Structure 1
Amino acid sequence: MTTPKRDRRARFTQLPLALVLLVVAVAALRIGQYHWRQGAALIGGALLMAGLLRAVLPTDQAGLLAIRGRPVDVLTYAALSASIFFFALTITGGPLS
């Protein structure tokens, strides 16, 4: 039998992922409005936020942000974030410029 405190805690387990996905949804909106650099930067920021959340939250509270071990997750999120920021800042031209 679960206690009410445990149920409340389980209810908010996926909140970190929901915050990251909210930023990605805003990024998709910006990309859809032809502001693709801002959208790409927001996606990079969402990945950076995912890495920071994974670094500070315990594994049982990180929800689906916890994929592998903490160091692997944080390094992967940081590397993906840096690469997306790099592409967003360096790519010029194209159909959305």
Structure 2
Amino acid sequence: MVFGGILGGVALGLLFVSQDHWRRGLLTAGGVLLVAALLRLCLPTRQVGMLAVRGRVFDTVTLVVLGTAVIVLTSTVPYSGG
């Protein structure tokens, strides 16, 4: 159930990207990865489903690094306004 919600959130971000709202889509995907990290940290392994790949700490750190990287890299691209 949790994994499906995370997958749906990333799919929503990719839908924004496909409609030429790439900044909004990538910020959405990065935010969803951070939410996934929080859920992986707080919920028992049995409830997170496929978010549990390795240990709890490894999975959480990996998701935080990826989510933060997507958000930071998206935010550093200058806005052309066009």
Q: For 1:38, give the aligned amino acid.
A: R
| 2:60 is the alignment partner of 1:74 | yes
Which amino acid in structure 1 is aligned with residue 8 of structure 2?
Answer: L
Which of 64, 69, 76 aligns to 2:50? It is: 64
- Counterpart selection for 1:42 from 28, 52, 61: 28
- CA shift for structure 1 position 61: 1.2
Q: Which amino acid aligns with 2:48?
A: A
Secondary structure at 1:68 match in 2: coil
Structure 1 spans left out of the alignment, 5+ residues: 1-14
* 1:92 CA displacement: 2.8
What does residue range 76-95 of structure 1 map to in structure 2 within 5 Å?
76-92=62-78
Give aligned pairs, total: 81
Q: With structure 1 as the length reference, what TM-score do the two structures score?
A: 0.78
Q: 2-side partners of 1:85 and 1:49: how far apart? A: 13
Distance 2:35 2:58 in 1: 15
* Stretches of structure 2 lacking an aligned partner (at least 5 in a row): none
What does residue 7 of structure 1 align with? Answer: none
Percent pairwise identity: 38
- Rg larger for: 1
Q: Which residue number corresponds to residue 8 of structure 1?
A: none
TM-score w.r.t. length of structure 2: 0.91
